[in-house]
Structure 1
Amino acid sequence: MTAAELATPRMDFELPPELEAHEPPEARGTPRDGVRLLHGQGSTVSHHRFTDLPGLLRGGDLLVVNTSGTLPASVPVAGAPLRVHFSTELADGRWLVEVRGADLGRRPGQPGPLRLPGGGTVTLEEPYSRGRLWFASVKTRTSVIEFLHRHGQPIRYPYVRRQWPIEAYQTVFATQPGSAEMPSAARPFTDRVVTRLVSAGVQIAPLVLHTGVASPEAHERPYPEWFRVPSGTARLVNETRAAGGRVVAVGTTAVRALETVAGEDGRVVAGEGWTDLIVTPARGVRAVDGLLTGLHEPKASHLDLLAAVVDRDLLARCYAEAVRAGYLWHEFGDVNLLLR
């Protein structure tokens, strides 16, 4: 496979099954910060370990990280071989949910109530997206988040062959529970890497975006996700860019939140609420100069966001090289640093 073969509008390519990460790197004998890091910038693609990150950034750069914590958002249905994945709480108190089988395969679902453990119920009201997400009302004896911590498990897919504890799905930055799935680009960070970054003059600023259940669809209707960009983070972004530093988002979630509150001139303001922004090459990015991200599946809509940060030719070269060199995909896999 060549870079030219990957350079299609929808970034279609073949992902060999052996490149799927089946378990956390710690279970493979690799520390969190020992995963591989592929660096793409300009016309250059180079290979590193994540511990090399401080040397790939410059003093005066700013990393923007998502402090959302991962929920055990997968709950079994009482009396049926089904699970409900709690994706996103909406402004009106309802939730977007997904129904899966006990084999982790997606199920279409139908309107009506589903009984949950502990006397809870989730009532599917109407489809939000064809064949996947539903508007649903939820009744539990406690808050939904407390209910999930009592009865739920982390969402996983068939390529993860066994259940791992919720701690395996948290990042070092996680402080506010709310994500259905881990903001996994930040998973390789450890205290020692953060210390080395700060010592090298790289600043770190927080925001929150509670990510929902990932979609395998290339062009599914976007769904809202709750975010907050604090005033201190907005100030640091603006000051960094004014001083000639680079703003590097850690994860597509951080890009989405920053771009939601960025003006056409790139100036960022504080804000919070629900965002359904889609970042595409046609729209471009206004406040972000680089991105640290995982490796995304063929045709995934996330690839359009990546192509808004760097040109498609570089992105194609990175993915061709990642496949050739045996990088690992998914939330427990390797990472990709893309810089303009």
Structure 2
Amino acid sequence: MTPAVRIPEELSARVPVEQREPGLDRDAVRMLVSRGVEAAHHTFRELPRLLRAGDLLVVNTSATLAAAVDGWIGHARVVVHFSTRGDDGRWAVELREPDGRGTTRARAGGPAGTQVCLPGGGGLVLEEPLSGRLWWARVAGPDVPGLLREHGRPIRYAYTERDQPLSVYQTVFAVPSPDGSGSAEMPSAARPFTARLVAELVSRGVQFATVTLHTGVASAEVHEPPYPERFAVPEASARLINAAKAGGGRVVAVGTTAGRAVESAVGADGVVRARAGWTDLVVTPQRGVRVVDGLLTGLHEPEASHLLMLEAVAGREAIEQGYDAALQGRYLWHEFGDVHLVLP
């Protein structure tokens, strides 16, 4: 796809699939399957028969935070998106302007020293820029996890119809972090999984390996590469991934976040080792992939940096053909939309 391509507004998924029709569950979304330049149409419930015994799915266990909080700069209302907790206790935040349809208008941050009043008597001070839209901020008053639990709501954008409860943004794999860390936005590729589907996959010999990558705030205006994010690949998962590769199984990352975590933990020898910390890795076609054989992901806008990882896995021509098929097939985009399985 080229940057000139635009996704028709009517192809934005405005509500989750289970709210569109009574009796549907999360796994009722459609799934485009790409093998090279060949694309086929399936439903997500067919995933177990598209994988085989010995394949391994890598899933992100990061829980989604209620990361949007109302605040005030003087008398002007703003919305604070809490993005990433730093090692020094500060938070990367984004300020946005409310418009009644989600918090879609980015607000210029700064200058340094700008104070934002928060609910419950707390506040934050912008200290230094992290990017054009994100600032490192020092938070005073209630601890941020408590603030988000009491006053936060999930981040949403104008293409969705309404606010949703936090449970709608949690995947079946989500595990709350003891320190209150999590993802500012849902690792949405895993959203269609249900406990029933996981059980069926396991019964067919498909394995799961868990990793954690806490995603920051995406930009609805400028699709810049991701900034450093906290991740962890446990020893048990590293062993599972290496064993799957050695046994001829396919390692399929569920989401670019899981793929980024795994590719951040592989050495030049192709062996995955337990690792935790921060990653600034951007997987590009030039860098290539060293572990991931396939990718299950949502449908991304043409400018999104996530597409670089898809091209690294499958090649540009395959991704362009797949997206053409998704547009022609009227697939739905964004976090409540349909999914794309890219296989070798």
Normalising by the smaller structure, the TM-score range is over 0.9
Residue 133, structure 1, aligned to residue 134, structure 2? yes
Structure 2: distance between partners of 1:28 and 1:91: 41
Structure 2: distance between partners of 1:21 and 1:276: 30
Structure 1: distance between partners of 2:310 and 2:220: 16
Residue 196, structure 1, aligned to residue 195, structure 2? no
Q: CA deviation at 1:74?
A: 0.2
The superposition leaves residues 214-251 of structure 1 with CA deviations (integer Å, 9 ceiling, x where unpaired) of 12466636421111100000000000000100000000
The superposition leaves residues 155-175 of structure 1 with CA deviations (integer Å, 9 ceiling, x where unpaired) of 000111211000000000001
Residue 121, structure 1, aligned to residue 123, structure 2? yes
Q: 1:21, 1:330 within 8 Å by CA — same for their partners in 2?
A: yes
Which residue is equivalent to 1:251? 255
The superposition leaves residues 258-291 of structure 1 with CA deviations (integer Å, 9 ceiling, x where unpaired) of 0111112321000101111111110001010000
Q: Compared with structure 1, are the counterparts of its residues 206 and 12 closer, same or farther at alpha carbon in structure 2 (3 Å cutoff)? A: farther
In the TM superposition, what are the counterparts of 1:171-190 in structure 2 within 5 Å? 171-177=171-177, 178-190=182-194
Q: 1:217, 1:300 within 8 Å by CA — same for their partners in 2?
A: no
Runs of 4+ in 1 over 4 A off after TM superposition: none
Residue 52, structure 1, aligned to residue 46, structure 2? yes
Which residue is equivalent to 1:212? 216
In the TM superposition, what are the counterparts of 1:88-107 in structure 2 within 5 Å? 88-103=84-99, 104=103, 105-107=105-107
Which residue is equivalent to 1:298? 302
Structure 2: distance between partners of 1:217 and 1:282: 25
RMSD: 1.3
User: Identity over aligned residues, as a percent?
Assistant: 58
The 3-state SS of whatever aligns with 2:310 is: helix
Q: Specify every segment of 5 or more residues in structure 2 that has no aligned partner in the other structure, as ranges.
A: none
- AA matched with 1:49: T
TM-score (norm: length of structure 2): 0.93
The 3-state SS of whatever aligns with 1:176 is: coil
Q: 1:260, 1:277 within 8 Å by CA — same for their partners in 2?
A: yes
Structure 2: distance between partners of 1:83 and 1:323: 33
Which residue is equivalent to 2:55? 61
Which residue is equivalent to 2:12? 20
The superposition leaves residues 112-171 of structure 1 with CA deviations (integer Å, 9 ceiling, x where unpaired) of 1100001111111222112x1111111232x31121111100000011121100000000
Q: 1:129, 1:220 within 8 Å by CA — same for their partners in 2?
A: no
Structure 2: distance between partners of 1:37 and 1:209: 24
The 3-state SS of whatever aligns with 1:306 is: helix
Q: 1:186, 1:251 within 8 Å by CA — same for their partners in 2?
A: yes
Q: 1:82, 1:102 within 8 Å by CA — same for their partners in 2?
A: yes
Q: Compared with structure 1, are the counterparts of its residues 182 and 41 closer, same or farther at alpha carbon in structure 2 (3 Å cutoff)? A: same
Q: Compared with structure 1, are the counterparts of its residues 316 and 83 closer, same or farther at alpha carbon in structure 2 (3 Å cutoff)? A: same
Which residue is equivalent to 2:33? 39
The 10-residue stretch of structure 1 (226-235 or 22-31) with the greater mean CA deviation from structure 2: 22-31
TM-score (norm: length of structure 1): 0.94
The superposition leaves residues 310-334 of structure 1 with CA deviations (integer Å, 9 ceiling, x where unpaired) of 1111100110010111000000000
Q: Compared with structure 1, are the counterparts of its residues 284 and 218 closer, same or farther at alpha carbon in structure 2 (3 Å cutoff)? A: farther
The 10-residue stretch of structure 1 (214-223 or 42-51) with the greater mean CA deviation from structure 2: 214-223
**Of 329, 337, 340, which aligns to 2:341?**
337
- Name the count of aligned residue pairs: 330
Structure 1: distance between partners of 2:306 and 2:299: 10
Q: Compared with structure 1, are the counterparts of its residues 306 and 12 closer, same or farther at alpha carbon in structure 2 (3 Å cutoff)? A: farther
Structure 2: distance between partners of 1:139 and 1:337: 44
Structure 2: distance between partners of 1:276 and 1:218: 18
The 3-state SS of whatever aligns with 1:204 is: strand
The 3-state SS of whatever aligns with 2:342 is: strand
Q: 2:170, 2:186 within 8 Å by CA — same for their partners in 1?
A: yes
Which residue is equivalent to 1:3? none
